[in-house]
Structure 1
């Protein structure tokens, strides 16, 4: 999930609060006219929000990990809630879409060592490093692999940047920096959009590119600011059973090993090679950087337990009254981490904010739409699985849509609700991408809420939640959440609440239901999500991405085939 005002903008603000951010430039095209009038105020049930959130985050659901009894209990419960809300089963008479998954569990701890330097190094699993294999094989081993520092690990020909230029890394171990080379820029200008992270800055891209280059192993150097989360998050998310979408040939085209090193461990590796991490990092920020062979050999081995299983997306639909074959979609992920690293004897990561609250919001919106009566277009409510494992459920829906994506007008993603109070502002994640923002601004105007730029675009939050899985296929998706400025306490109070969540609860056992939460911000945000979706469902317009958005060409091509 994205970190912020419990959970979106404010945790990110606490990490980068001192960095001013430019307002995005005006889009290159004027917004389309909209035929529908502004939507009426909805009836969002506070009781539904509380009940569903508390139920899903109770110990009975064991942290809602896909493929577990708690996960099965979750999808059954959500189907019942969608039915109760007044929806119809959304997949040819079924509430479910099967998502084939593979669970890979380490058997014993990996042993990572480096030789050939000033001194041999060995790193402790969880404390110094984490490692997994994307390959579905019972034994994983990389032996005597040459180690290369490849800077930010980016190959972007359209930007004239290639950290792998002139380099053959087949069978080698690459060490990579997180984020983009220009993430410390104070504005939004630079080879990689300045402070705003591009997809090249995401860890997912870096492992994908290392695999394309033929590397045997890839390790990303963790640092809290550019990663936008602490080592505790890496440790909790990358240990224990890992889920992947089932794939042909057991994913043998992936790297053998992917993992993370703490910054301290990476410094030791560089020092053993007679190098300095800070000096190499500074060099890697410059265009024309050349990868640096370290003269070291990497060794790592571990065994895996491979278990094929299925999880399920839950789909409900409210058929449209006039154009039922045109769709507006709301998404939220129902899963969390399940049984995790214990803290003070508690080993259940309940995921109350992340994302029992957002899933409850999906149910409450379904109720509100059903009570108001069907709009012109159909409304899809999609609760997806395995977001915490890499957006697997939404990615599967994107590749195997139940409803045609070229007939899906657009949608809204909910990844956690604001539970610390109403704010004076909202933030669009990835602002300046689509004409859905015009719908949002009209709804905000009815509430007297300001639209603000992201506090920390360097966190790359646009690529970290389920809207991205549909955006990749061209569907305009909006991801907007409460901003920083709390009505009671202002920005300082909001940032303090966000920092407390990030440090003490995010992806840990302490993310539990709290009867003292302030739901006013959540209710206000859900009213806005409703108004945007209702207006979108009652218009005959097809809002698009702005011409500068990376998804515009995909959408234009898909819509050309639909018309």
Structure 2
């Protein structure tokens, strides 16, 4: 399937200050999309869990496809970037007790709270740590907001609300973009900020609506082995304990401290909120089983002709869950859509770009590990880049392709953040499609896949894909297909390759990814974040110091 003439013109035009020359893009190979997805999601790859034999099979296969496409090894002659990991498993977790209030409050592990640690240490013991309610736990100087202003939480336990202050505001109005979650609303940010302020423990209050998932998701995700990057210093700069507590128990805790949870929560939504010491102390302890191991990212490059030290990225994670809870005797979570299909898109883009020939800038194709265990592979690359982030122009991430058929719409994740969206809008319109708002921006989808690891350190990365308005069947059919996947296949053994899938929509989307990446690679400008975006400052600092 080739680009329409209009689409090809927009790709080649000097739109938005690029200097790309007009050309017809090569076809995206449907056979490649099918073959790579089918192979990587076959039972022989055992669900592609990192550090298992399935990893070696998957990464070796991706290298073979990159070589065949015409890429060069992307890490100083190697196709791999080692990613050191450490597995921590909490055991013998005591109840978390709060003393000094009207009545003692005790939280039972799994039932009332979950706890873990980033610290690589055999034991965690917290005794009589003063408890402070820090509202949403946000320090955002560009928005004039600091929940930690005027309070010292070193050695203390902070209790934090989930999401950000204006999550109940309809639309995008509000200091924190209204209903749409900013990074300040993500649990990862809250733990990072608590550690920066020296908190010994950080506990988020779980509330299903602002969290966008129930307690069962927290309970299953935060118990059992937890993977983290194995870094020098063993994460001693992080809080000793991080975790979640049930909403009902938070209300009990506040009542014991002589406070009203609803009243303080309402106060936390207002600018100028001051953290509230609760006058109680927290105690908890647990042991850690520690297992050090390693995984790897796969990286290939198509060197640029005239600006080879400027880089444009395409990314997709190769990992999945491996063996999982069996359904009808099948215990392999194959991850066909998530994300064998994304890797297939990566290979197809490598083929298409190699067929066109080198661009002015270098094109990098990065397939990362451990997306499913917390974006660890992409985070490791971003924190230990092979190519300087200040010289990384931007890129596109793929996490699941559209196998439902062609759509009239295209959805941008985290809309309103970067100038890449302006470019993509023109490309989408050239396909006679429209961009629609993200249906559930409160879920913070932009922060939950690998592009975010780059974004967090300032590199503009695009994430988006087909909507639900199918050209055959309309919104009703598209929504039904989405629900079927979420309810019956997502992270289950049923996410398997299906020969009946319609790849026409995937081809259209991959054409968009090709066009955006090629436009960046054949251009000379440096797209940035919008001035209101939470990543603008770090990008400006990075580029200024290049």
Report the TM-score range of the alignment, normalised by the length of the smaller protein. Answer: 0.7 to 0.9
**Conservation of the 8 A alpha-carbon contact between 2:16 and 2:423:** no
Distance in 2 between residues matched to 1:350 and 1:124, nearest whole Å: 34
**Conservation of the 8 A alpha-carbon contact between 2:359 and 2:521:** yes
User: Is 1:211 the counterpart of 2:195 in the alignment?
Assistant: yes
Structure 2 gaps of 5+ residues are 1-13
TM-score, with length taken from structure 1 = 0.85
**Conservation of the 8 A alpha-carbon contact between 1:179 and 1:226:** yes
Deviation of 1:287 after TM superposition, in Å, equals 2.6
User: Is 1:307 the counterpart of 2:291 in the alignment?
Assistant: yes
Distance in 2 between residues matched to 1:532 and 1:343, nearest whole Å: 40
**Conservation of the 8 A alpha-carbon contact between 1:236 and 1:341:** no
> Partner residue of 2:4?
none
> Partner residue of 2:146?
162
> Partner residue of 1:5?
none
**Conservation of the 8 A alpha-carbon contact between 1:32 and 1:435:** no
3-state SS, counterpart of residue 517 of structure 2: helix
> C-alpha deviations, 1:73-92, integer Å up to 9, x for none?
32222212212222221112
3-state SS, counterpart of residue 59 of structure 2: helix
User: Is 1:412 the counterpart of 2:396 in the alignment?
Assistant: yes
3-state SS, counterpart of residue 17 of structure 2: coil
**Conservation of the 8 A alpha-carbon contact between 1:237 and 1:507:** no
Deviation of 1:102 after TM superposition, in Å, equals 1.8
Deviation of 1:153 after TM superposition, in Å, equals 1.4
User: Is 1:69 the counterpart of 2:58 in the alignment?
Assistant: no
Report the CA distance shift for 1:485/1:339 in structure 2 as closer, same or farther (over 3 A).
same
Report the CA distance shift for 1:152/1:556 in structure 2 as closer, same or farther (over 3 A).
closer
Which of 434, 455, 468 is the equivalent residue of 2:439? Answer: 455
Distance in 2 between residues matched to 1:162 and 1:47, nearest whole Å: 53
Report the CA distance shift for 1:74/1:129 in structure 2 as closer, same or farther (over 3 A).
farther
Matches within 5 A, 1:38-437: 40-108=24-92, 111-114=95-98, 121-270=105-254, 273=257, 277-340=261-324, 348-437=332-421
Distance in 2 between residues matched to 1:557 and 1:294, nearest whole Å: 39
Deviation of 1:210 after TM superposition, in Å, equals 1.4
**Conservation of the 8 A alpha-carbon contact between 1:236 and 1:508:** no
> C-alpha deviations, 1:207-249, integer Å up to 9, x for none?
0121122222212122333223333433343233222222232
Structure 1 gaps of 5+ residues are 1-29
Distance in 2 between residues matched to 1:328 and 1:371, nearest whole Å: 17
> Partner residue of 2:462?
478
> Partner residue of 2:520?
536
Deviation of 1:493 after TM superposition, in Å, equals 3.9
Deviation of 1:322 after TM superposition, in Å, equals 4.3
> Partner residue of 1:466?
450
Deviation of 1:450 after TM superposition, in Å, equals 0.7
Range moving further from structure 2, 294-303 or 311-320 = 294-303
> Partner residue of 1:18?
none
Distance in 2 between residues matched to 1:59 and 1:264, nearest whole Å: 43
3-state SS, counterpart of residue 81 of structure 2: strand
Distance in 2 between residues matched to 1:551 and 1:175, nearest whole Å: 26
> Partner residue of 2:507?
523
Range moving further from structure 2, 266-275 or 79-88 = 266-275
> Partner residue of 2:5?
none
3-state SS, counterpart of residue 16 of structure 2: coil
**Conservation of the 8 A alpha-carbon contact between 1:170 and 1:215:** yes
User: Is 1:490 the counterpart of 2:470 in the alignment?
Assistant: no
Range moving further from structure 2, 176-185 or 379-388 = 379-388
**Conservation of the 8 A alpha-carbon contact between 1:147 and 1:174:** yes
Deviation of 1:333 after TM superposition, in Å, equals 1.5
Report the CA distance shift for 1:290/1:409 in structure 2 as closer, same or farther (over 3 A).
closer
Distance in 2 between residues matched to 1:97 and 1:526, nearest whole Å: 25
Deviation of 1:312 after TM superposition, in Å, equals 1.0
**Conservation of the 8 A alpha-carbon contact between 1:424 and 1:485:** yes
Aligned residues: 533
3-state SS, counterpart of residue 524 of structure 1: helix
3-state SS, counterpart of residue 66 of structure 1: coil
Distance in 2 between residues matched to 1:250 and 1:41, nearest whole Å: 48
Q: Note the aligned Cα RMSD (angstroms).
A: 3.0
Distance in 1 between residues matched to 2:489 and 2:172, nearest whole Å: 31
Range moving further from structure 2, 414-423 or 112-121 = 112-121
> C-alpha deviations, 1:404-453, integer Å up to 9, x for none?
33333321111222233322111222333333233322321321111223
Range moving further from structure 2, 75-84 or 494-503 = 494-503
> C-alpha deviations, 1:265-324, integer Å up to 9, x for none?
444544555655444433322233343444544333222122222221100112234443
Distance in 2 between residues matched to 1:490 and 1:297, nearest whole Å: 56
> C-alpha deviations, 1:348-376, integer Å up to 9, x for none?
44433322221221112112222333333
Range moving further from structure 2, 417-426 or 41-50 = 41-50
Deviation of 1:528 after TM superposition, in Å, equals 1.1
